[in-house]
């Protein structure tokens, strides 16, 4: 964190000036429960905004609609439900997403296209739209400056809400960035939805906001996506309303680096929280590759290791099994000289030149017994480097993910 970046305790999306939030319980997650499952985030004032959506060819209805709206209009509000992804729901799904946008726009007195619509939850089940629409006016009436309820309302299998806010100085003015996020089923978001909503009162040009968002997503949420794949619903929305009244930040202009560092910090903090709170996760592991033939090779290796079922099982078992790691390095598709590969657990060398160092097993065990550690892999053939954040794979994860659809159909 740069010298001028200050973390704000208990901050969230309402920490920046001019943003408000609310949440209600509609019974989408669980009928007849009081679990919050519908949230609204709004800027009182006009904004510039941008979003990054899933790359999945099967994109949920709200993603398709939001993308269409974003092409012509700056987003000023987000309406989001949990408990149902509104994905694989056909033309009715699009209609439902559009109704959520319209009802929100009507309640707020803004244009429908200024609303981004998000959903997360089960796939392939019709959205219970009749539970959602009647509650939207209430959301508008309840808007306040606390974002805790919204952070809770977007949770699915997360065990805790995820919020952050920071303050920095741009051209002598205090500027704030706030965000809430919800996690992936596990570290590999290809099969679980990641949502993140970022607000800032910075005055920032559209071009700079788009570039800064792309950079921050690449360094954070794309580093926990083990295959570079995303779910049907993954969405990051960033809105800036300029209420800090700083001199507008432009691309490569004054304050641009500080703003980007702050945005990177915000997204990386939430990305790490998502890994750490992954379903039944007991370890957070940073896989650091260096010395690869190219950056692309380094990324291939990092993702192969981070995604290997057997490597993840060994971490769950607190087993410093470097053989399984070099195995995954070997099938990554990258250029590898086995006799050059070094593997470290938090700096303790387990293998050098492709063979065991005979490091004291106790030293290696001390590392893998920690909740967080780093696996360093040096290919020693070039300058390619990359890193990803990943988790272990636990029996409880499998247990947790065994049944869902039939249970839902039989409700």
Annotated catalytic residues are 193
Stretch that binds a second copy, among 43-51, 182-190, 247-255, 287-295 (CB under 8 A): 182-190
Q: ∠ CA(179), CA(108), CA(100), 5° rounding?
A: 75
- H-helix or E-strand containing 149? helix 148-153
Smallest gap from Cβ 250 to a second copy, in A, equals: 36
Nearer to a second copy, 70 or 365 (CB): 365
CB of 87 vs a second copy, minimal distance in Å: 7
Q: Does 2 bind a second copy (CB under 8 A)?
A: no
Nearer to a second copy, 83 or 242 (CB): 83
Are the beta carbons of 133 and 100 closer than 8 angstroms?
Answer: yes
Q: Is 15 in the site for a second copy (CB under 8 A)?
A: no
- For a second copy, the closer of residues 114 and 279 by Cβ is 279
Residues 29-58 that bind a second copy (CB under 8 A): 55-58
Q: How many residues does the chain have?
A: 411
Q: How many Å apart are CA 191 and CA 233, to the nearest integer?
A: 10
Smaller CB separation from a second copy, 89 or 220: 89
- Nearest approach, Cβ of 356 to a second copy (angstroms)? 5
Structure tokens at 184: 């992936």
**Selected binder of a second copy within 215, 229, 254, 363 (CB under 8 A):** 229
By the 10 Å C-beta count (0-12 exposed, 13-18 middle, 19+ buried), 65 is classed as: buried
Does 88 contact a second copy by CB under 8 A? yes
Q: Give, as ranges, the residues between 273 and 312 that touch a second copy (CB under 8 A).
A: 308-311
Residue 254 interacts with a second copy (CB under 8 A)?
A: no
Collapsed DSSP state (helix, strand, coil) of residue 180: strand
Residue 211, interface with a second copy (CB under 8 A)? no
**Among positions 67, 365, 381, 385, the unique one binding a second copy when judged by CB under 8 A:** 365
User: Residues with Cβ < 8 Å from 60, sequence gap 6 or more?
Assistant: 54, 85, 86, 87, 88, 89, 93, 119, 123, 232, 233
Instruction: Using CB under 8 A, pick the residue from 38, 123, 212, 266 that binds a second copy.
Output: 123
The one among 214, 353, 372, 383 contacting a second copy by CB under 8 A: 353
Question: Strand 284-292 vs strand 38-43: parallel, antiparallel, or unpaired?
Answer: unpaired
Task: Give the count of alpha carbons within 13 A of 312, CB side only.
Answer: 24
Name which position in 356, 371, 372, 383 contacts a second copy (CB under 8 A).
Answer: 356
Task: Give the nearest distance from C-beta 297 to a second copy in angstroms.
Answer: 11
399 is an interface residue for a second copy by CB under 8 A: yes
Q: Is 118 in the site for a second copy (CB under 8 A)?
A: no
Interface with a second copy, residue 202, by CB under 8 A = no
3-state secondary structure of 261: helix
Give the other-Cβ count within 10 Å of 49's Cβ.
26
- Secondary element (H or E) of residue 235: strand 235-240
The binder of a second copy chosen from 43, 231, 241, 391 (CB under 8 A): 231
Cβ atoms of 51 and 114 within 8 Å: the answer is: no
SS3 98: helix
């Amino acid at each position: 964190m740069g010298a001028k970046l200050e973390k704000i305790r208990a901050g969230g999306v309402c920490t920046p000036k001019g943003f408000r939030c609310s949440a209600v319980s509609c019974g989408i997650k669980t009928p007849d429960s009081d679990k919050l499952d519908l949230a609204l985030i709004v800027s009182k004032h006009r904004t510039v905004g941008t979003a990054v959506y899933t790359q999945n060819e099967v994109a949920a209805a709200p993603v398709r609609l939001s993308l269409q709206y974003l092409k012509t209009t700056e987003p000023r509000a987000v309406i989001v439900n949990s408990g149902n992804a509104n994905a694989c729901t056909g033309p009715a799904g699009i209609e439902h997403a559009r109704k959520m946008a319209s009802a929100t726009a009507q309640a707020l007195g803004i244009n429908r296209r200024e609303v981004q619509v998000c959903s997360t939850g089960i796939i392939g089940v019709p959205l219970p739209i009749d539970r959602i629409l009647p509650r939207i006016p209430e959301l508008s009436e309840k808007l306040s400056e606390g974002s805790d309820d919204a952070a809770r309302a977007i949770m699915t299998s997360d065990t805790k809400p995820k919020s952050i806010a920071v303050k920095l100085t741009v051209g002598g003015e205090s500027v704030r960035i706030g965000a809430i996020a919800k996690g992936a089923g596990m570290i590999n978001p290809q099969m679980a939805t990641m949502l993140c909503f970022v607000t800032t009162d910075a005055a920032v040009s559209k071009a700079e906001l788009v570039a800064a968002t792309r950079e921050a997503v690449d360094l954070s949420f794309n580093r926990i996506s083990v295959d570079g794949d995303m779910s049907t619903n993954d969405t990051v929305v960033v809105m800036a309303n300029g209420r800090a009244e700083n001199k507008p930040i432009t691309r490569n202009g004054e304050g641009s680096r500080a703003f980007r560092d702050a945005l990177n910090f915000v997204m990386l903090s939430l990305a790490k929280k998502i890994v750490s709170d992954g379903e039944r996760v007991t370890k957070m592991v940073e896989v650091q590759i260096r010395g690869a033939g190219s950056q692309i090779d380094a990324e291939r290796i990092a993702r192969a290791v981070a995604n290997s079922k057997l490597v993840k099982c060994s971490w769950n078992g607190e087993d410093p099994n470097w053989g399984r790691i070099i195995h995954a390095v070997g099938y990554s598709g990258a250029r590898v000289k086995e006799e050059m590969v070094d593997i470290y657990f938090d700096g303790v060398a387990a293998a050098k030149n492709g063979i065991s160092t005979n490091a004291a097993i106790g030293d290696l065990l001390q590392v893998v017994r920690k909740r967080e550690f780093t696996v360093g892999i040096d290919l020693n053939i070039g300058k390619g480097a990359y890193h990803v954040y990943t988790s272990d794979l636990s029996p409880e994860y499998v247990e947790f993910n065994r049944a869902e659809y039939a249970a839902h159909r039989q409700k």
